[in-house]
Amino acid sequence: MFAATDRSQFVDLDVPVWAWGALIAVIFAMLAVDLYRHRDDHEPTPKEALIESLVWVACGLAFSGAIAIGFGSGAFGEYISGYLIEKSLSIDNVFVWSMLFTTLAIPVKYQHRVLFWGIFGALALRAIFIVLGSALISRFWWLLLVFGVFLIFTGAKIIRHRADEGKEEATRGLGLLRKFIPVSDEFDGHKFFTRVNAKRAATPLLAALVVIEITDVIFAVDSVPAILAVSNESYLVFASNAFAILGLRAMYFLLANAKEKFHYLSHALGGILIFVGIKMAISHWYHMNTYVSLAIIVTMLVAAIILSMRLSKRLGVPVAEVAHGDHAH
């Protein structure tokens, strides 16, 4: 079922149609279960968010086992590398969402609904980006250099994080939506549309959804090239992206207010992007072993977490304490 690596030393898979069908079916099944679990618009507790996050990670790792059995160790390494990169960069996404929801004053109990449909749209968007990116890279090798330089620049930008990141996107997204439909200041349960003076209008939830989708476009521009730096196989890139993204809602409720407790995390995320950018830029001439790349990425993340914990301990800020109920009321 799997072929030898190509000249760039990335795996080149012959993925059957049923494997794509199975992947999509699993994704939709997981989305359906998640939507059913949160049908009552309740506010997730820290314990619930932790358990759900662990379950989502377990699902992603379980699929890596299926990859190893079906396509071999090379495909397994590329999937895990892509999954870890996307999961790491998604943490930054979570912090931006927290700022967006705070700016738009979205109640916590409705945030899961907004994130569900936002992530549903993100999956479709990532699929398009991945197909286009893979096709372009296979045809124009020099785009590897362009994408690599872009990732290096983005990584440097992430290291210099702004405290108010997300506010500008919220303002722009709200302004864009108001060009097409009136936006109500009042909520109508968890509905995205309501009626104001007998006229159809968007609720703040739809405004938040539009902003989430706009920010995901921005993040996809970063994360998709980053994953293409460790794999050229569309199936592995999409699968790793999908499983990492599916657990974002639970991760959001777990980490939304923990940014100040992980001081060095943005440095690690920026460092990862710079590393994969360099790897991508030179990949036409030199291919770094997938497991060496994976080890470097894991080392950066672990170092950032350990250093953040030490700093928090010196400052008296408990890292394990994740308050989530007061950031968007």
8 A C-beta contact, residue 184 and residue 202: yes
Residues 86 and 222 sit within 8 Å (Cβ to Cβ):
no
Q: For the residues 19-47, what does the mean pLDDT come to?
A: 82
Instruction: Using the Cα atoms of residue 117, residue 16, residue 61 and residue 77 in order, give the sign of their dihedral.
Output: negative
State the pTM of this model.
Answer: 0.73
Tell me the three state secondary structure of residue 160. coil
Which pLDDT score is estimated for 59?
A: 92
Comparing 50-54, 63-67, 188-192, 260-264, the range with the smallest average pLDDT is 260-264
pLDDT at 325: 42
Residue 201 has phi, psi (to 5 degrees) of -145, 155
Taking alpha carbons only, the member of 96, 75, 46, 64 closest to residue 242 is 64
Sketch the domain layout of the chain as residue ranges: 17-315
- Please compute the mean of the pLDDT values over residues 128-133 and round it to a whole number: 81
The answer on pLDDT for 204 being more than 70 is yes
Residue type, 219: F
- CA 158, 160, 165, 171 dihedral sign is negative
Task: Tell me the C-alpha distance between 268 and 259, whole Å.
Answer: 13
Model confidence band, residue 320 (pLDDT cutoffs 50, 70, 90): very low
Over 70: is that where the pLDDT of 257 sits? no
What average pLDDT does range 61-70 have in this prediction? 92
pLDDT of residue 329: 38
Structure tokens given for 158? 């992430």
d(CA 258, CA 320): 9
Q: Provide the angle, in degrees to the nearest 10, between the axes of the packed helices 73-104 and 265-281.
A: 130
CB atoms within 10 A of CB 263: 17
Cα 174 to chain centroid, rounded: 22
Which band of pLDDT confidence, cut at 50, 70 and 90, is reported for residue 317?
Answer: low
| Cα dihedral sign, 119-121-123-128 | negative
List, as one string, the DSSP characters of 21-46. HHHHHHHHHHHHHHHHHTTT-----H
Q: Give the end-to-end CA distance of the chain in Å, rounded to a whole number.
A: 52
